[in-house]
Amino acid sequence: IRTVISRNPISDETKTDIKYVLDTIGRIFILRVFKVWLHVDWLFNLVYWKELKEAHKIMYKCLNTVNQGWKEEEAIRKEIIPDPNLGNARLSGRNLVDVMFDNLPLIVEDHDWRDEVTTMIAGASDTVVSCLNLLIFTL
Write out pLDDT tens, residues 37-53.
Answer: 877 888 887 888 888 88
Half-sphere exposure of 92 (CA within 13 A, CB side): 2
**pLDDT higher at 71 or 96:** 71
Kindly tell me if the per-residue pLDDT of 90 is higher than 70.
no
Phi then psi for residue 90, to 5 deg, are -110, 140
Q: What is the pLDDT of residues 10-36, one digit of tens each?
A: 778 888 888 888 888 888 888 888 888
> Where are the chain's structural domains?
4-108
Kindly tell me if the per-residue pLDDT of 124 is higher than 80.
no
Cβ-defined contacts of 89-96 (< 8 Å, 24+): 91/1, 92/2, 93/1, 93/2, 93/3, 93/6, 93/7, 95/2, 95/3, 95/6
